Amino acid sequence: MAKILVTGATGNVGREVTAQLVSAGFSVRAFVRDARAPRLPQGAELAEGDLAAPETLERALDGIDAVFLVWPFLTSDGASAVLATIARAARRLVYLSSSGVNEDADRQTDPINQLHADMESLIETSGLEWIILRANTIASNALGWAGQIRDGGVVRGPDIAATAVIDQRDVAAVAARVLTDDGHAGAKHVLTGPQVLSRAEQVRAIGAAIGRPVRFEKVPVRVARDRMLADGRPPALVEALLASAETRPASDVVTSTVEQITGTAARTFREWATDHAHDFR
């Protein structure tokens, strides 16, 4: 049976990948920066390290067959060394990318999609058996609104083009399948939820789930920048997120990939909001 290394294992998607693999009976090693507070399911083995230090990853790869890779940086600097380290130990790599990547473009619309495009190019020449998961906007991103919803019921921020928001559990379910099943090598799977939603529609769905009115209020980018910096977010991350809000084009793409691979239809955002209502109360 395959032994799998999950990077980003304490994040919203990585934690779900870890949990689903453990639940299915697979041997999982979770790669975490701090093993003292991992928030991981019982049964997962811990390996402490940092993708910025490939030598720590090398230790974590002992006996590993497949790797789930979440790249936590804003550029692909250092990725070649990380991929080379993985290729010396493992056979298969599954990378979490973005559905916004446009293969026909010389440059992507924003820094985050550019990062993913650069990572995909490096992965394709890594010598690994690779699978790319191009996920749409992930529902758990909405957890960042929890404080505003609890405090006053108004979510203020820059608007962003509507997309078919996907539940992180569905991304993880696909990841668990392609990490452990054959037949997906060289695939670029586009993962979406079943319905294209604006930020305002997402916020209203959360309000319905918690039983009180909640609304979205668009603010100018300059105001959003000041607030995000005041919250302590790194300036480079703030600029990348704001560039995404300003330049990312609208997308009406809805795929059935989740159901095709897992046998179960993708969850709606309303289902996600209902299941996470306690986070917003």
Condensed to tens digits (0 to 9), the pLDDT of residues 156-170 reads 988 888 999 999 999
What share of the chain in percent tops pLDDT 70?
99
Condensed to tens digits (0 to 9), the pLDDT of residues 87-145 reads 999 999 999 999 999 988 989 888 899 999 999 999 999 999 999 999 999 999 999 99
Nearest-CA neighbor of 170 among 247, 85, 267, 251? Answer: 267
Nearest-CA neighbor of 124 among 155, 153, 103? Answer: 103
Report whether 219 contacts 157 (CB < 8 A): yes
Q: What is the mean pLDDT of residues 182-198?
A: 97
Domain extent listing, the chain:
3-135+167-191+253-266
Residue 277 per-residue DSSP state: G
3-state secondary structure at position 185? coil
Per the structure block, which two tokens stand in for 240? 């990348």
What is the pTM assigned to this prediction? 0.93
Residue 160 is predicted with a pLDDT of 86
CATH architecture group of domain 3-135+167-191+253-266: 3-Layer(aba) Sandwich (3.40)
For residues 249 and 242, give the distance between their C-alpha atoms in angstroms, rounded to a whole number.
13
